[in-house]
Chains A and B, each alone.
Chain A
Amino acid sequence: MELTNRETWTALHGMIFGAAFLLAFAGGLAGLWSLTPAWVTRAGLRERMLRLKVGVTSMALIAWVTVVSGTYIVYPWYREQSPDSPRSILLADPDTAQWHRFGMEWKEHVAWISPMLATVVAFIVVYYGNQLIVDKRLRWTALALFVLAFVGAAVPGLLGAFITKAAPLQ
């Protein structure tokens, strides 16, 4: 049981960073959602805010690491001109060509919107801090951007899983 260098990077890009992104999103969403005055005490505020700042900042960093590793490390192997590259394999069969023409073409571009939105949320949480508790509009804006950042990463993640299943990188 052994992973090649390419399989290791593909797993890191799609599964390890992806799982960490999911964890950070779940934590950040719960933190932002529950940041309502009725559920917060002054004593609990400091601990909760620190956790939230770490969570959303981690999510932004992981999002950047995921898109950069995907684009600059894994993607060149995917698009190699050789007949056994995943791109060539998918395009060679009309039944699987759409996985490249639609799936990969969408995934490789739209994924880059997610880290930008996640960075904005991290900035809002770190810069405004406790103000999010009393400023409802700011908190709901951060929440909406946070969910959008997640959707922007979940769609490419799902497409990546299907593409890898149809033509694995080896």
Chain B
Amino acid sequence: MATYERREGGTITEEVVWTPEELDISTKPNGPAVAAMWAAGIGSLVLAILVVWAEASEGFAQDLAFQNRVGPLSGKTTIAGLAFVVSWAVLAPVFWRRNVTWSVALAVTAVLVAAGAIGTFPKFFELFAAD
């Protein structure tokens, strides 16, 4: 454990820094975390695509009604959930021992999750509504 002084505004703060060895940590690559993050992003994107597609096509929306009581939402959520699990199962072994550049990992995750959020926003998917 090392301490060093850090200037914060007008005061000097003493900061403690642990080394991985002191905490018995074997540093793992970030690949497994990135695989999980991208899988969640893919699940979000698939959900958004299905929402927009179902809005544009009444026939497709009916096909997504896996359960009549729930309607098209049952298909959208089931497929998005499966996309999350399957893409995680595929990506995890690929990235398990790898390190991915953090900026790339974060940018891809941000784009996928943002696409998911935008695609599920009513003012956006209504733009594609069937006449």
Contact = CB atoms under 8 A, between A and B. Distances in A.
A150 to B, nearest CB: 14
Nearest to A72: B70
Nearest to B18: A37
Interface residues of B, number: 44
Interface in A127-168: 127-131, 133-135, 137-138, 141, 145, 148, 152
Contacts, number: 107
Band of interface residues on A: 35 or more
B20 to A, nearest CB: 5
Contact of A128 (B15, B33, B120): B33
B74 interface: yes
Contacts of B122: 101-102, 105-106
Given A79-B71, A113-B116, A123 B121 contact: no
B33 A124 contact: yes
Residue among B36, B70, B102 with the most chain A CB within 10 A?
B36
Nearest to B19: A134
A110 B120 contact: yes
